[in-house]
Amino acid sequence: MATIATARTIVVRARAPGASIASSDRGVATPARGVVRPNIVDAATRQHHQQSRSGGGSRRRARAVVVASSSSSSSSSSEDDAPTRREAVAAALAAIALATGGGAVAPSVARADSFAADIEADLPPPPPPRVLVVGATGQTGSLVVRELKKRGDDIAVVAAVRSEEKAAKMGVDGGNVSLLGGFDVTADASTLAAAMTGIDKVIVCTGFVPGNPFKMSAAAHSVDNEGVIHLVDAAKAAGVKRLVLVSSILTDGRAMGAEGSPGFKITNAFGGVLDEKLVGEKYLQGSGLEYVIVRPAGLRADPPKTPLVVTPGNVMASGEISRELVAAFMSAAAFSSSAKNKIYEIAEEGTFAPGYSPDGVEKFIVGDDRSKWFKQ
């Protein structure tokens, strides 16, 4: 007859990130990126059934082997819904009771979570989630890195930059931040995917910078259209769990009937950038990759002056916002379960042009209360 002590014979294996794991006997080989659900190996129980059929009267104790996996996304910093190691162990304990038909092991099922906690306490802590910031030396990207630094060792930040020397001079690295040099969104997806190996979340802060008027269209197409497509394909191939993309209000201005607004005409005059951004957005939305699209109003370099306003997509046609506030919003969006697969438009209260303030703007004012940021 199985006893409570049987539960403590459970073997828990925690694999390192990037490894593949295969359990013995009826175990199932599992890719390194996923969280392995409990796999019960019940050789002794099979012997019991064989003996029962042949007239054997003694019930053999069930032996369980639990394969528990911790991917980097299982840190408490993340709001992912993957099962925890404790849940895996508790499920295995319940399986013991089922395999043995209850009996003396039943009390251990009621205390499964307690046993699982004891076992989990003996395991090394899971690695923190790794967040890749693309465009980390840009005006917004560098602020995103600074915002993520505040989380300390809860996450590992990888600053993707074209020039490591420039990034080092700017002080982008240090603390929980490492540099990934030579990263260019115009590279092919396979090259970018190799660089994203082991990354859990990607925050994209790139956008073309207007320059030569004869080359703006090509630049906007290369960065905001094809560049985003490359990043999306690379993220999917690398097993990234979420991609947060910075875009712009009025990106879908034609659909909202705002193509005649001053904001759309002026912004899109720079290489048709809004039309190019829309292609990138649509590709991300149809990719199957979990996403958050953030569309800020006109960007300012100074600190925030008025409360934050957050609306769904295709609402704002004007406005301004501090880059610091954009960085804080994007950093939070990477970890909010409420933000999954949504589009947000953000601006500061009181910055909307006359005649272009969102209808009922008062209901969209959220200010500093981050619990309200992603409720739209």
pLDDT in tens, the chain (376 residues): 444 344 444 434 434 444 433 333 333 343 444 444 444 334 434 444 444 444 444 444 333 333 333 344 434 344 444 456 667 666 666 666 666 555 554 555 556 667 667 776 777 878 899 999 999 999 999 999 999 999 998 999 999 999 999 999 999 998 899 999 999 999 999 999 999 999 999 999 999 888 888 899 999 999 999 999 999 999 999 999 999 999 999 999 999 999 999 999 999 999 999 999 999 999 999 999 999 999 999 999 999 999 999 999 999 999 999 999 999 999 999 999 999 999 999 999 999 999 999 999 999 999 999 999 999 7
342-348 and 308-312 as β-strands: parallel, antiparallel, unpaired?
antiparallel
Closest C-alpha to 313, from 329, 293, 337: 293
Cα–Cα dist 102/108, whole Å: 10
The pLDDT assigned to 232 comes to 98
Element (H, E) at 67: strand 65-67
Q: Which residue has the tokens 């090259």?
A: 191
The pLDDT assigned to 86 comes to 66
Query: What amino acid is encoded at 115 in this protein?
Result: F
Cα–Cα dist 334/329, whole Å: 9
Q: Is the whole model's pTM more than 0.85, yes or no?
A: no
Please report, for residues 176, 217, 219, 278, 335, the alpha-carbon distance to residue 374 in angstroms, rounded to integers and kept in the order given: 26, 33, 32, 22, 11
The pLDDT assigned to 358 comes to 95
The pLDDT assigned to 93 comes to 63
Q: Using an 8 Å Cβ cutoff, are 303 and 324 in contact?
A: yes
Q: Using an 8 Å Cβ cutoff, are 45 and 60 in contact?
A: yes
The pLDDT assigned to 4 comes to 39
Give the tokens for residue 63: 């032996």
Q: Using an 8 Å Cβ cutoff, are 329 and 373 in contact?
A: yes
The pLDDT assigned to 121 comes to 72
Residues 6 or more apart whose Cβ sits within 8 Å of residue 219: 208, 209, 210, 211, 271
Q: Which residue has the tokens 């769990």?
A: 241
The pLDDT assigned to 208 comes to 86
Domains recognised in the chain with CATH numbers: 4-121 (no CATH), 130-372 (3.40.50.720)
